[in-house]
Structure 1
Amino acid sequence: MRKGLIFILFVLSISSASIAQEQNMWKTLSNVTVEKSFDEILSIDVEHYDFASQVKALNGKKISLEGWIIPLDELRGENYFVLSSLPFANCFFCGGAGPETVAEVFSKKEVKYTEKKIKVTGVLTLNSDDPLRLMYILNDVEVEEAKD
């Protein structure tokens, strides 16, 4: 009886840790400093990112994020899209949010646009140098509807 209770408590602790990890991942990813400098080749100011140690530790690791697909017409129906931690009206591209609130997503399968919140799980790549890419890139992503 005692072993069964210990096992149940162990399973519950793993489940709650996983839920907490998913809910706080965007918060963890917000631990970045953004600096701008002029790029001679592009002739524009570009952003460079200095990631905190807890963010650097996630590089190359599988993570989960919940958010909304940015409805860019030219990207619909593909396996590439941008995920925002905020709804469209408040996102980085339309509202006043920062670049740490969005991620490029490369899914394993074609993803149809939805206005519903989704959950993605994939391997995180940090981008601190390429001004033509977002700072967070998720590869080999599996997509599911969020359980809100």
Structure 2
Amino acid sequence: MNIERLLRHVPLLLAACLSLGAQAQQQPSSNAATALGQGPGYHDPRSPIKPLQEREGVVSWPLLSSVTVKADKKRLVPSFPAGVQALDKQKVKVQGFMMPLEPGDKQRHFLLSSVPTSCSFCVPAGPEGLIEVRSKTPVRYTLEPVTVEGQMAVLSNDPYGLFYRVLDAQPAE
């Protein structure tokens, strides 16, 4: 499956996830384990990979996940708070766990996730927990968090349902 075909399915997956999340919030569960996996950026404590630590000078995932979403006909419409809108067209540093979108161990087009991937075929977060990255310098794939620097685009009407994109990215420390 090529990347364009894969990305075309992202809005459907995200809509299903948001729908399930809304249903779960409307129907309180007596099972405490169910409540543990709710909310953006959830990280399973049994994972051998540690969750991301906030770093000075790096865009915060809690800020990015503060977006709200409303369903409008066949698409989800994001509403970004002022702090997120201020990032649009700015040079930023972002960190996350890499989800390759191309073959090979060096990537120019990939997704960064706020949480580690646990399944090669699963999207680990909703659109508030993913950033599409287009890199001018290839970035080596790793299971460890990566940090890149580039121009942030805050997307209110992306055809793939994404909320964030970083262009002209380069590896950063």
User: What TM-score do the two structures reach when normalised by structure 1?
Assistant: 0.68
| Identical positions, percent | 33
Select 2:65's aligned residue among 30, 41, 58: 30
In structure 1, C-alpha distance between the alignment counterparts of 2:88 and 2:134, rounded to whole Å: 16
> 1:113 corresponds to which residue?
141
Structure 2 gap ranges (5+):
1-54
Which protein has the bigger helix share? 1
Q: Tell me the residue number matched to 2:86.
A: 57
Letter in 1 for 2:83: Q
Which of the residues 79, 85, 88 maps onto 2:117?
88
Aligned partner letter, 2:152: L
What residue in structure 2 maps to residue 7 of structure 1?
none
Give deviations 1:49-99, integer Å, cap 9, x for gaps. 110011111111111111111144558644111011110028xx434x331
TM-score by length of 2: 0.59
Q: Answer 1 or 2: which has greater strand percent.
A: 1
* Distance change in 2, residues 1:75/1:51 (3 Å): farther
Deviation, 1:37, is 2.3
Counterpart residue number, 2:155: 127
Aligned partner of residue 61 in structure 2, secondary structure? helix
Instruction: Give aligned pairs, total.
Output: 119
RMSD value, Cα: 2.6
Corresponding residue for residue 56 of structure 2: 20
Aligned residue number for residue 101 of structure 1 = 129
Unaligned residue ranges in structure 1 (runs of 5+)? 1-18, 39-44
